[in-house]
Each structure stands twice: as C-alpha cells, then as structure tokens.
Amino acid sequence: MAFFRRSTKINVVYKNGVKDRISPALLDTLIDSRQVAQFERSDGWAKVGLDPIRGMGGIDYEGSERRLI
C-alpha cells in the first residue's frame, strides 16, 4: 500500500488574477513584495491588506516557531 503525503503547497492569487500553488517559505516574500492579493488558509481565504496576517502588526509572538519550513 502506498502512503501519500499531503501537499505542502499554498494556493495563492496574485494581484494580476493569476492563481498559483507555492511553497510556504515563499509566501512571506511575496506578501512583503505586494505581489499576492490573497492566499488560502485552513479556515478559508485571507485577503492581504484586509484580513489579519501573522507578522503584520499586533502583539509580538515570543514562542517557538511552529510553521513548517
């Protein structure tokens, strides 16, 4: 029996409307360079500039890193 790993790619929509699947490590760079309009989270789509995004203000998190890189 073959075991399949769940994809670690993130669905994104660029500002020009193009859809893509990217690695999680690339997401912060694309958000910082203002190329991404929205990306998919486990609870739905997040719109950059409208929805809260980790690292974009708020209280600084001082715990250990939990993201897969």
Residue 38: inside a domain: yes
Residue 32: inside a domain: yes
Residue 2: inside a domain: no
Write out pLDDT tens, residues 42-58. Answer: 889 999 999 988 765 55
- Angstrom distance (rounded) from CA 69 to CA 59: 23
pLDDT of residue 1: 45
pTM of the complete model: 0.68
Characterize the bridge pairing of strands 36-41 and 19-22.
unpaired
Locate all alpha helices (DSSP H) within the chain, ordered by sequence.
24-32
Domain count within the chain: 1
The owner of tokens 């609870």 is 43
Q: What is the mean pLDDT of residues 9-37?
A: 95
Residue 68: inside a domain: no
* Residue range(s) defining the domain that contains residue 17: 10-47
pLDDT of residue 65: 67
Write out pLDDT tens, residues 26-42. Answer: 999 999 999 999 999 98
Residue 60: inside a domain: no
Residue 61: inside a domain: no
Residue 67: inside a domain: no
Residue 14: inside a domain: yes
Q: Which residues pair with 14 in a beta bridge?
A: 36
